[in-house]
Amino acid sequence: MPRGGLVAAVLAAALVAGGVGGGIGFWAADRNEDNGTDSTTVSASEAPADLKREQGSVADIASKALPSVVTLEAQSGNGEGGTGTGFVYDQQGHILTNNHVVASAAEGGKLSATFSNGKKYDAEVVGRAEGYDVAVIKLKNKPADLRPLPLADSDKVAVGDSTIAIGAPFGLSNTVTTGIVSAKNRPVTSSDGASNKSSYMSALQTDASINPGNSGGPLLDARGAVIGINSAIKPADSGGLGGGQSGSIGLGFAIPVNQAKNVAQQLIRTGQATYPVIGASVSLAETSKGAVISDRGANGSGPAVEPDGPADKAGLKSGDVITKLDDMVIDSGPTLIGQIWTHKPGDTVKITYERDGKERTVDVTLGARKGDS
């Protein structure tokens, strides 16, 4: 992939129309590395010294948050890569971002982070979680005055809440845009277009303008606390996957920060993430009626329901159609995966499913899978 911006296909699982493996037939959007309804863009240029900003205004929040946001440049060993965004997670020099922003630099590549004051630092990848699309990197020779951004409780976010997005759209660092939370728990499936690896999220949707280059940047609330990591967009031009870089039409998606924080802590501790699982493979094709437990395992071999796994212990079988996870309606396999991944291993969830035309309900205690497979 040429430098200038990493872009990946993003697919809303609620409108799935094909298999995830190749990304064919999904409602296509773009991940937004160098990478709506009308949203406001705020210049990061210097204001006159005597001009006072109202406390809590967008300008006030932006001025406090910008020093904690970095523009990332990732380059693979063969020179390919692009730009994205990240933000300071802690005073030890950890930066939180998307996996697809830094993936090209993970194996022998180069990675750097530039702050709003223009100072640039080399960085290294601490850990990546492809399924969650979350990564943690660490600055080398970190500055002494790092200011981590405060993290909000994303479970308490409400539709209509104000949002502020910061990033480097099309390489334009320190760009600030505003909008609202336009939806919650939006099922989104994404692929980086360069591999068959997919990520699944139950996303926050925002109409703040997000474009290629915003990936990995913070989505803030009206208090300046992070509620999500900007990760994907539905572009105006979505006629195919892996196409050119398209702009925002007011449909941006962010990974809720509660989930991202949990993943980041795991990556910092062990270098890999743990995924909650039900121990059953489901079809990734569109059904609209639910998530169908497959006939065979994920690789086309072995049983779809893992013997003595969570689903097996709960009595689930191939052909069962899962229609709800707790109170969330499940309309497809990707939607189910995204909802499961909002939980933690060991959590007990209530699964509603159909078998032979009859609706049944069962409790399932989630198992665990370490790392990406």
Residue 247, token pair as written in the block? 């702009």
Burial of 364 (0-12, 13-18, 19+ CB in 10 A): buried
Catalytic status, residue 215: yes
DSSP H or E stretch at residue 340: helix 333-340
* 357, two tokens: 């035309």
Can 182 be counted among the known catalytic residues? no
Whole-angstrom distance, CA of residue 5 vs CA of residue 21: 23
Are residues 255 and 229 in contact, defined by beta-carbon separation less than 8 angstroms? Answer: yes
Amino acid of residue 249 = I
CA angle 71, 180, 48 (to 5 degrees): 55
Q: Is 343 a catalytic residue?
A: no
Catalytic site residue from 34, 133, 207, 320: 133
Of residues 190, 191, 199, 215, which has the active-site annotation? 215
Please write down the HEC assignment for all residues of 62-100: HHHHHHHEEEEEEECCCCCEEEEEEEECCCCCEEEECHH
**Cα→Cα distances 203→94, 233, 258, 339, Å:** 23, 11, 11, 10
Strands 321-325 and 328-329: antiparallel
The active-site residue out of 100, 154, 231, 283 is: 100
Measured between its terminal Cα atoms, the distance across the chain in Å is 24
- Report DSSP letters for 95-161, one per residue: EEE-HHHHGGGTTT-EEEEE-TTS-EEEEEEEEEETTTTEEEEEETT--TT--PPPB--GGG--TT-
Residue 125: strand, helix, or coil: strand
Catalytic center residues: 100, 133, 215
